[in-house]
Amino acid sequence: MASIAIDGPAGAGKSTIAKLVAKKMDYIYVDTGALYRAIAHFLVVNQIDIEDEEALAKACAGITVEIKYENDAQQVYLNGENVTPFLRTEETGNMASKSSAKAPVRAALLDLQRDMAKTYNVVMDGRDIGTNVLPNAEVKIYLTATSKERANRRYKELIEKGEAADFDKIEADIIERDERDMNRAIAPLKQAEDAVLVDSSDMTIDEVVEAIMTAAKAI
């Protein structure tokens, strides 16, 4: 089985790009961020204090997360319930960034991610795929963009949905999340030594996809 690992900071477009690359290569797309968000959703709903190590470990021990494909779309199931519609809220995203630094959360998902890569040809995106989850991936990409450009994308997304949006706050949250992700003790966000750097700040989606497809030609 072959793997393409795409890492990068929040808002860099990893999920959008990874889906397109997977479709072009007829690979399975694995959105690891959605897995962490599923656990984050559980923690928010059940008001688990993630600084309480015992409570967090107990909560993670009772969580089952599964990825299923229905009508060619990835669906995430948490303890048998489809929680996909609840995964993209700001509250869930912020909790995912905080909780993903915790050992019980990472341990709960590590084997699931690796098992999928053993079973299928995958395009997997996240924060530490090339450095930690799939260190032997055939292709590694570090996809990034400036904080201003990432904030602009998120701002437009919210406005298009008819939701209120504060550009400065969005950018501040992105910068704070970058700092947290890059400096966490467990599997911090960083570019793998053998990863191809792709800065999408001034690139179209098609150009980013082409850059990754070019890197993937070696598979």
219: pLDDT strictly greater than 90: no
Question: Residue 40: pLDDT band by 50, 70, 90 thresholds?
Answer: very high
| pLDDT one-digit tens code per residue, 138-192 | 999 999 999 999 999 999 999 999 999 999 999 999 999 999 999 988 889 999 9
d(CA 151, CA 175): 9
d(CA 137, CA 30): 14
> In the block, which residue shows the tokens 């290569």?
25
Cα–Cα–Cα angle for 10, 103, 81, rounded to 5 degrees = 70
| pLDDT one-digit tens code per residue, 56-101 | 999 999 998 988 888 878 899 999 999 999 998 889 989 998 998 8
d(CA 133, CA 113): 7
Q: Where are the beta strands (DSSP E) in the chain?
A: 3-7, 28-31, 65-70, 73-78, 81-82, 122-126, 139-144, 196-199
Any idea how long the chain is? 219
